[in-house]
Amino acid sequence: MNALMYLYVRQFRNKLRSNFKKPLAWITLILLVIYVLWLIKTMDASLKFKNVNQFITVLLMIQLYAGTLSIVTYLRRKGIIFTPADVHFLFPAPFSPKRILMYASARGTLISMVVTLVILITGCAKFPESTPKFLVFGIAYLILDTICEHSLAILCYGNEVISKEHIKALCRISYGLIIAVSLAFVAMFISSGLSAQVLVQFLGHPLIKAVPIVGWSLGFIQLFFMGPTAGNVITGGLYVISTAVLAAVAYKSKCEGDYYEDAETFAKDYAELKKKSNKGDTSSWRLGGKKEYKEATVRYKGDYARAIYYRQLLEYKKETMFFFNLRSYICIFIGCISIAGITIDIDLGLGNLLAIPVILVYVELFTSIGRTKWEKEIENPYIFMIPDTNLRKTWNATKLEHIKAALDAAFITVPGGFVLGLTVIQMLLIIMAFIGINATNVYYHMVVEVYLSKVFDAFRFLLNLIQFAVQTLVIGISAAVLAVCIVTGIGVEIGFSAVCVITVLMSLSGMFVASLALEHMESE
């Protein structure tokens, strides 16, 4: 066993030992397994996999997007994680730069191998008659995928031949490909609905499989499970040949360590990101390069705690994209899709009124709010010196979060409401209900972060799971109130009004508890 392999195995074993000596690690692992099983069951129920050909589309979708993105990140020298320890000990050591790249990229390869194995084991459990096929495919695919991944890492990340202009062009082409595929998938979803059969047709399209390396890998997977059609044989063969060619070219390519400087910068950024992530700050996940700010001014109005609101507004105005985040972009994207269907006469009955709230619930659940400005404010000593009540400080520090929630809800509700034929009152009630649910999540997110972060500091996943449970509880209560109003015949509009009132009461109680958290920290 060579020194790098020994180092990799020893680090992995030591990390496992140190983590699993703590009871919380076992709790986290159990919850993670339960979550994965729930995710698989939900996916199976929604897509209704009838045979192994349809089930394998899950792996095909992962390969399509993850494969393209990994090439882009390698080209930009951001796809491999180098720790500060790697920079200090490995770079000066007498190892070839290629071997160091293979060592570092093995971390990412291990994750993709685990995901693939989970899918294959699930497939064996669901379709036991296809177990031999899964086993043969698993061995062949994992070997080829590992070779291809390491070869791409050396050729792209360790590149010393291709100019920066050509790299930028390749990145743009890759991003364009991802966008084009996503738009084509959305168009097929709108016209045919979402089902396993639709995924099979989409991923089996010749244009998808014609994409070099990534598309060819889809053909290789389909060759095993969907039979030897002409397209599958050609693209599968091209994938095997291209993997062998990439490995040979990577072995012969020039790589003398020009990437060391970029890797060192990336390692520093990654260490900083990890510190912020341990504090729950996911709003600034940016690796590589300096964050740019614009010049901005703001006119302060009011006094005391209102200064917090205007200072936050000034910070946002300096941002390139103002206060728009991932959730905003998703809402804008969904709104644009809604506009595309404005000429279609959609009549779903009660579903017309419930479609938008359901979409907003999914957006709220699966786009984490991350650390709010309020949670960052409590790290600034000046906030304790403002001669105002903690309740007013909390309100002014979270006011912008409610404005952002209103805009995000409007991006979906307004265009979607016109397409579905909703009245202005109904659209306003939906937006107000979303603001209330989001406000409740903001305040209780902050409460969980302040009171439990010290207990679960080493297990951020468990803390995130608690916050997710709180979000689900708030949404569940709102859905129950709305369902009661619909079933009893009171009316949907009154149901949304009741949701607004209940979420306002819950958010007020959350704001009060959050202000107590500030008082508690101030006393410390």
Report how far residue 316's alpha carbon sits from residue 504's, in angstroms, rounded to the nearest whole number.
Answer: 26
Give Cα separations from 328 to 279, 334, 441 (angstroms): 23, 10, 17
Tokens, residue 476: 């569940």
pLDDT digits (tens, 9 = 90+) for 296-333: 565 666 677 777 777 777 777 776 666 677 777 788 87
Burial of 50 (0-12, 13-18, 19+ CB in 10 A): exposed
Burial of 312 (0-12, 13-18, 19+ CB in 10 A): buried
Average pLDDT over residues 182-197: 68
The set of residues, in sequence order, having a beta carbon less than 8 Å from that of 404 and lying 6+ positions away, is 323, 325, 328
Q: Which residue has the tokens 């034929």?
A: 421
For residue 141, pLDDT over 80 is answered with yes
Q: What is the pLDDT of residue 455?
A: 62
Give Cα separations from 497 to 423, 429, 433, 473, 485 (angstroms): 15, 7, 8, 19, 10
| Mean pLDDT, the chain, integer | 75
- Work out the number of other CB atoms within 10 angstroms of the CB of residue 139: 10
Nearest Cα to 61, choosing from 171, 194, 154, 234? 194
Cβ atoms of 249 and 151 closer than 8 Å = yes
65 vs 409, more confident? 409
Helix (H), strand (E), coil (C) string for 4-61: HHHHHHHHHHHHHHHHCCCHHHHHHHHHHHHHHHHHHHHHHHHHCCCCHHHHCHHHHH
The set of residues, in sequence order, having a beta carbon less than 8 Å from that of 167 and lying 6+ positions away, is 75, 76, 159
> In the chain, where are the structural domains located?
52-255, 306-523
Report how far residue 413's alpha carbon sits from residue 430's, in angstroms, rounded to the nearest whole number.
Answer: 7
Tokens, residue 455: 């207990």
Give Cα separations from 147 to 57, 59, 154, 287 (angstroms): 23, 18, 11, 26
First and final C-alpha spacing in the chain: 53
Point out the least confidently predicted range of 156-160, 342-346, 355-359, 448-452.
342-346
Point out the least confidently predicted range of 135-149, 159-173, 372-386, 476-490.
372-386
- DSSP per residue, 462-515: HHHHHHHHHHHHHHHHHHHHHHHHHHTTS-HHHHHHHHHHHHHHHHHHHHHHHH
% pLDDT > 90, the chain: 0
Q: Count how many residues are written for the chain.
A: 524
Nearest Cα to 257, choosing from 91, 103, 38? 91
> H or E element: which one contains 167?
helix 164-192
120 vs 279, more confident? 120
Q: What is the pLDDT of residue 437?
A: 84
Cβ atoms of 200 and 53 closer than 8 Å = yes
Report how far residue 255's alpha carbon sits from residue 114's, in angstroms, rounded to the nearest whole number.
Answer: 29
- Work out the number of other CB atoms within 10 angstroms of the CB of residue 241: 11
Nearest Cα to 98, choosing from 264, 263, 257, 260? 257
Cβ atoms of 14 and 21 closer than 8 Å = no
Point out the least confidently predicted range of 22-26, 103-107, 129-133, 218-222.
22-26
Cα 207 to its chain centre, rounded Å, is: 27
Point out the least confidently predicted range of 213-227, 241-255, 279-293, 472-486.
279-293
Average pLDDT over residues 382-406: 80
Cα 322 to its chain centre, rounded Å, is: 21
For residue 463, pLDDT over 70 is answered with no
Report how far residue 136's alpha carbon sits from residue 502's, in angstroms, rounded to the nearest whole number.
Answer: 56
pLDDT digits (tens, 9 = 90+) for 204-225: 778 778 878 778 888 888 888 8
Q: What is the pLDDT of residue 503?
A: 84
Indicate whether this model's pTM tops 0.75: no
Report how far residue 177's alpha carbon sits from residue 182's, in angstroms, rounded to the nearest whole number.
Answer: 8
Of the segments 189-193, 389-393, 520-524, which one has the largest average pLDDT value? 389-393
Q: What is the pLDDT of residue 460?
A: 61
pLDDT digits (tens, 9 = 90+) for 33-90: 777 777 667 666 655 667 676 677 666 666 666 666 676 676 666 667 777 777 777 7
